[in-house]
Structure 1
Amino acid sequence: MEAQPQAPKRKRARLACKPCRERKRKCNGGDPCTTCTEWGYQCYYEARRRKSHNVHDLSPDPSASPPVHNPPGPIATEPDSSGLVRRLEANSGAAFVRKLGLKIDSAKAPKLNLFGWNIGSRQLSAQPLASSVFPIVEITSLDHIQALAQIYFQKIDPCYGFLHQKLFFDRLNQRWQSPLLPDIFDSVIAGVGALGCLFSQRNATITEVHLVRTARSTLDTHHLSGPPSIDLLNGWALRSIYLRMTDSPHSTWMASSTLMHLLEASGLHPESHSVLPPRVQIDPDLQRRLVGVAHHLNVWTSFDLGLSRVSFQKDDLPLPPSPKAGDYTAEVLGLLPVSLSLDPGRSKDETDLATTLGKLLDGTHTQPPSVMAQCNLVLCILRRIHTQNLDISPGLADRVLKLLKKGLGCAQSMVMDCTPWHQVANVPFHIICVLLVIDTRPSLSMLPEAMQTLGLVASTYDTETMREAYSAACLLVLLHQQPILGEALSTQQATQLEIFSQPTPSAEEFNWLGALVADLPGLQRVDLDQFLNADMIDVPPFMGESA
């Protein structure tokens, strides 16, 4: 019988990447390798391969990938592809949380989900019988709309101040004097009223639901026959703000992208080059504020989702708005240049991250929403630093923790004041994630306050979104502490072990998008203070801080 030819033996990679070595998985030696690509790991090697000076000492490996010769000059885009992915993942809170879970326990890591992106959708205890859209003058009285508008200009306008207050109230009175003449300005009235409801009522009302429907219907059915009017732009801006605080990321991204395209079509931005002459007449300072707020919303929603942001032909920002008494819009929009510099597509020198971080910490932010915007940007830079395996000085790390602690206090005050900006949920959740990554005694000592803050938001705004975020945060903390607890508790009394002696759940039981919500009462019963304040074993510091 003729002998069968033997199958060629599989060539093993000469150097496996660090994630594959730790998990004892097969590695093909690529950059990134196939296993890391399929499982979503961050592929990296402890040491770079050295090229031999004697080419005759190297035998060809037919199974290995051919060497990639990079063309000279700035057109070589391949070497930066992994850097682009890292920057994209660092900007996206969802990707960062997943990678954090993979590092702790790959079998129980969360799927991509923007936990705590906002407080969640506003639901009525009893839905209206019909989904009809009513004219703005039939939803509620003029006095009620005026009261809601006063709340808007008291709580929201100081941070996103792009409306002219006196002009708004004058036109509001005129609208009620002509109830049979609907106009695109109705979207502005409805948007202001809906945000006034959001910032005055912890639970949704029928009035708020109808205002949201009217604003959406007015904007969606408006026929655009030329450059958009300022009322249309303001209406879309108000809708984007409301969605950012209550709706899904993709809905917000679509609305903010639409707003950016309308701004370009209007010719308001100095660098827009429309063939149609602009017909919008607006105060230059309000113009800069509107363009800045639109950029702010679109940039950060795009970062969170890992999607493209809308940019103009020349992506220059307008001049900063003029400061006003009692107004901190300039503080918030002053962060926009740094935000744009973090765009994943830009080849920013990553060694400048520590310098940028220091400048951000030096910034003056006077009010809680502005402080939370500062915290959000600092958290993004910290994620960048972590993905690049960089260090910061102990002094800078102390300043970071001080700001994050200040942010937790701002979140608590915002909840008590019924000002549910999106950061009130987003920032505390990601503070918890970053504290786990820093992994030092000072950072871990802040975890109880961070968890209590997130729990306060979840109990105040009892939505599925907040329950899910709190459950995910609890489990991340528990998974992070399991190795330390196992060693520390091995010397404790047997009765103390009973708390942690439950069987390890299966992978199905760690469904981060569903089952954890039902498991929230069980997680709440865990006494976090009992082990979060305990003396931790020595761990390698991440940010140059001595343990």
Structure 2
Amino acid sequence: MASPIHNGGGMPSPTTGSMRQRSRRACFPCRQRKRKCDGRLPCLTCTGYGYECRYGDDGGRKGTKRSASDEVALPQPVHKAQRLPAETSTHSQSEGAVATPFHHGILDPNKWRYMSSNSAIAFPRVVGLDLQSANPPRLHSFAYNTGLRPEPGCIVDFQLVKFIAWNQVQELINVYESTIHPIFGFLDMQRLYLRCEDHWKGKSQGPGLEALISGIIGLASLFSGLLATDVEMRIVLHAKELLEDPSHSRFPSIEQVGAWILRTVYVRATSRPHVSWLSSCTTMHLVEATGLHREMDQVVLMGDSRQGYLQEQSDVRQRTAMIAHCVNSIISYDYGRSAVYIGPLSFNKIVPRDGDFSLHLYSLVRGLPRDDIGSDPHVRKSELVAALKYLLDAPTGHDFVTVTRAELCFCVYRRLRLLDNCLKQDQIDQVITAGTAALPAARRLMVSNHPWWNVISTIFQFLCVLLAIDSTESIASVPAAMETLEIITTRLDTHLANEAVNTARLLVCASLEKKKKGISILERVAVVPDVVDNASSAEQRWMFDETDWDLFLQPPPATQFLDGDFQLQI
């Protein structure tokens, strides 16, 4: 039986001995400050304080760095803040440059609390360690406020296990696993299933699991229609209440991050852009709060009782952070809002799975340049042009990813259009190619009753892009795009779908009227006067006397330009 994530019981115990091992050598910063040193590179003290750990062969007079091969192999000392190996910097440094010390973050796995080593919350403990206190302060928000009011307790009294039967939950989990999980594959479905079974049998797995399974039920119902709408919405509301409850939200966990991802996807598919953007940003902040964006060798772990468990869950942790990043980036890029940046991210250690397209989705997102305000327009344009080519060359493998690729291509096009309205033909062709590939993919998703948000929004945006390009090639693609939008609208038969197709028709009519006016003007200009048989009459027709010449040189009256229509007198 799988234990809940928030429960630390049953984790592997540390393998290190309980006797203190004395290091034969101390690094230069520890000798200089007369602090304990464990003899490693970097040592625990330098890691905790952010010092540049270095060793010298002559008592520290020569501060040469100690190489990894010179490290003394000693058993890991027993300490409340276990040091993990430092991450090698990914940025190359020129010869002679001073290396910037890597500052580890601090992770308290018992509370899933991650913070930078320069945090005010961590500083009392740092001071305690600096003073060599036998009992340094714990990680705690000492004196964070005046404490005049008590913190509110739990206000959620809805009981999910009594509201929906386990056999229905089983069916909905299967729907989720076959439709949503292949795209957003951040959950360990087998472990989740076992924990849910225990939860429905009376072995409570905590509010985090309940918020997570409520999100799964809501999305599975949206994609299958197995539940009545009011039942589905009540369960979705339950997830929201748990995630926003003050007694639960102050203890972030990986389950909370997963539940917020599912809520964001559901809100993006059913609600307004501002709400979905806020939800995606909250998810990213929780990723940072739980340290999911950091490798285990990049953190100082408070207590080592869960180190083995965290290493085992490394793939799930990275996948959760990756999907949260993808959802926030896609929503922000499409909406024109800033995405949450929590530092450089790398998910190269994620193990690919059969039938999983999460890495394909991340491959698209990683090609998007950040929206940096004030950046050089020429540099910005070159980045967007490169991103457009990258997106078109990226593999998709799934209809949803294909439609998402087109969605992101249109995002890039809108930014390029603001920078330079005269795009090159190959760039226009790339946009049209991406949109054209999305048409059959969107139709197949709709036939499968998979109401992803971009099934209709991307097709509507494609029509807008085609009309904005306004070339012979783009106008030739309008009928297919309009037909696809009408097919999807007929199948959905919702207010938003009908509103979209009516707006698309309005834009097509506006484009047609504009072209009619242009054609009318060109037709008047292109009229050929009747051939006059008498050549002398023709010559006489075009001859000016001096009076006519003076009249011709006079400026036209101002009233001639008051009429909005361009009237040509022939």
Alpha-carbon distance, 1:139 to partner = 2.2
**Residue identity opposite 1:195 in structure 2:** L
Alignment match, 1:73: none
Alpha-carbon distance, 1:346 to partner = 5.4
Aligned with residue 453 of structure 2, among 412, 422, 445: 422
Alpha-carbon distance, 1:336 to partner = 2.0
Ranges in structure 2 where 5+ consecutive residues have no aligned partner: 1-155, 524-570
| Residues 257 and 286 in structure 2, CA contact (< 8 A), matched pair in contact too | yes
Alpha-carbon distance, 1:146 to partner = 0.8
Task: Show CA shifts across 1:491-510 (max 9, x none).
Answer: 99xxxxxxxxxxxxxxxxxx
Alignment match, 1:372: 403
Alignment match, 1:337: 366
**Residue identity opposite 1:336 in structure 2:** V
Alignment match, 2:565: none
SS in 2 for 1:195: helix
Separation (CA, whole Å) in 2 of partners of 1:355 and 1:221: 44
Aligned with residue 435 of structure 1, among 466, 485, 506: 466
Task: Show CA shifts across 1:10-62 (max 9, x none).
Answer: xxxxxxxxxxxxxxxxxxxxxxxxxxxxxxxxxxxxxxxxxxxxxxxxxxxxx
Between 199-208 and 281-290, report the one with greater CA deviation.
Answer: 199-208
Cα separation, partners in 2 of 1:181 and 1:293, compared to 1, 3 Å: closer
Alignment match, 1:459: 490
Alignment match, 1:24: none
| Residues 368 and 411 in structure 1, CA contact (< 8 A), matched pair in contact too | yes
Separation (CA, whole Å) in 1 of partners of 2:368 and 2:196: 36
Separation (CA, whole Å) in 2 of partners of 1:171 and 1:180: 9
Separation (CA, whole Å) in 2 of partners of 1:150 and 1:411: 23
**Residue identity opposite 1:341 in structure 2:** R
Count of matched residue pairs: 360
Alignment match, 2:351: 322
Cα separation, partners in 2 of 1:325 and 1:345, compared to 1, 3 Å: farther
Determine if the alignment matches structure 1 residue 284 to structure 2 residue 311: no
Task: Report matched runs for 1:465-544 at 5 Å.
Answer: 465-486=496-517
Separation (CA, whole Å) in 2 of partners of 1:344 and 1:246: 31
Between 152-161 and 416-425, report the one with greater CA deviation.
Answer: 416-425
Aligned with residue 243 of structure 1, among 240, 248, 267: 267
SS in 1 for 2:366: helix
SS in 2 for 1:364: coil
Cα separation, partners in 2 of 1:274 and 1:471, compared to 1, 3 Å: farther
Separation (CA, whole Å) in 2 of partners of 1:232 and 1:160: 16
Alpha-carbon distance, 1:227 to partner = 5.4
Alpha-carbon distance, 1:395 to partner = 4.6
Alpha-carbon distance, 1:190 to partner = 0.8
SS in 1 for 2:324: helix
Separation (CA, whole Å) in 2 of partners of 1:227 and 1:267: 13
Alignment match, 1:228: 252
**Residue identity opposite 1:323 in structure 2:** P
Separation (CA, whole Å) in 1 of partners of 2:330 and 2:513: 34
Alignment match, 2:237: 213
Alignment match, 1:254: 278
Larger relative contact order, structure 1 or 2 (CA cutoff 8 Å, min sep 6): 1
Cα separation, partners in 2 of 1:276 and 1:455, compared to 1, 3 Å: farther
Alpha-carbon distance, 1:255 to partner = 1.5
Separation (CA, whole Å) in 1 of partners of 2:195 and 2:315: 20
Separation (CA, whole Å) in 1 of partners of 2:221 and 2:339: 30
Task: Show CA shifts across 1:76-98 (max 9, x none).
Answer: xxxxxxxxxxxxxxxxxxxxxxx
Calculate percent identity across the aligned residue pairs: 29
Separation (CA, whole Å) in 2 of partners of 1:286 and 1:264: 15
Task: Show CA shifts across 1:434-463 (max 9, x none).
Answer: 101221222112112212222233232333
Alpha-carbon distance, 1:319 to partner = 3.0
| Residues 399 and 441 in structure 2, CA contact (< 8 A), matched pair in contact too | yes
Alignment match, 1:385: 416
Determine if the alignment matches structure 1 residue 144 to structure 2 residue 168: yes
Cα separation, partners in 2 of 1:304 and 1:345, compared to 1, 3 Å: farther
Separation (CA, whole Å) in 1 of partners of 2:314 and 2:295: 14
| Residues 320 and 330 in structure 1, CA contact (< 8 A), matched pair in contact too | no
SS in 1 for 2:367: helix
Cα separation, partners in 2 of 1:378 and 1:170, compared to 1, 3 Å: same
Separation (CA, whole Å) in 2 of partners of 1:239 and 1:386: 33
| Residues 261 and 283 in structure 2, CA contact (< 8 A), matched pair in contact too | yes
Separation (CA, whole Å) in 1 of partners of 2:226 and 2:521: 46
Cα separation, partners in 2 of 1:487 and 1:204, compared to 1, 3 Å: farther
Aligned with residue 294 of structure 1, among 306, 313, 324: 324
Separation (CA, whole Å) in 2 of partners of 1:475 and 1:277: 61
Cα separation, partners in 2 of 1:168 and 1:346, compared to 1, 3 Å: farther
| Residues 245 and 420 in structure 1, CA contact (< 8 A), matched pair in contact too | yes
Between 218-227 and 253-262, report the one with greater CA deviation.
Answer: 218-227
Determine if the alignment matches structure 1 residue 200 to structure 2 residue 220: no
Separation (CA, whole Å) in 2 of partners of 1:211 and 1:292: 26
**Residue identity opposite 1:292 in structure 2:** M
| TM-score, normalised by the number of residues in structure 2 | 0.58
Alignment match, 1:45: none
Alignment match, 1:186: 210
Aligned with residue 198 of structure 2, among 148, 153, 174: 174
Separation (CA, whole Å) in 1 of partners of 2:290 and 2:522: 70
Separation (CA, whole Å) in 1 of partners of 2:408 and 2:261: 22
Q: What RMSD in Å do the two structures reach over aligned CA positions?
A: 3.0
| Residues 368 and 387 in structure 2, CA contact (< 8 A), matched pair in contact too | no
Aligned with residue 350 of structure 1, among 356, 369, 381: 381
| Residues 435 and 462 in structure 2, CA contact (< 8 A), matched pair in contact too | yes
Separation (CA, whole Å) in 2 of partners of 1:328 and 1:192: 18
| TM-score, normalised by the number of residues in structure 1 | 0.60
Task: Show CA shifts across 1:217-252 (max 9, x none).
Answer: 121215258652221111111111111111111211
Ranges in structure 1 where 5+ consecutive residues have no aligned partner: 1-131, 493-547
Separation (CA, whole Å) in 1 of partners of 2:403 and 2:168: 30
| Residues 239 and 255 in structure 1, CA contact (< 8 A), matched pair in contact too | yes
Separation (CA, whole Å) in 1 of partners of 2:511 and 2:166: 54
Alpha-carbon distance, 1:466 to partner = 2.2
Cα separation, partners in 2 of 1:489 and 1:200, compared to 1, 3 Å: farther
Cα separation, partners in 2 of 1:210 and 1:291, compared to 1, 3 Å: same
| Residues 243 and 251 in structure 1, CA contact (< 8 A), matched pair in contact too | yes
Separation (CA, whole Å) in 1 of partners of 2:374 and 2:195: 43
**Residue identity opposite 1:337 in structure 2:** R
Separation (CA, whole Å) in 2 of partners of 1:453 and 1:352: 32
Alignment match, 1:263: 287
SS in 1 for 2:368: helix
Separation (CA, whole Å) in 2 of partners of 1:473 and 1:324: 40
Alpha-carbon distance, 1:349 to partner = 3.3
| Residues 293 and 333 in structure 1, CA contact (< 8 A), matched pair in contact too | yes
Larger Rg: 2
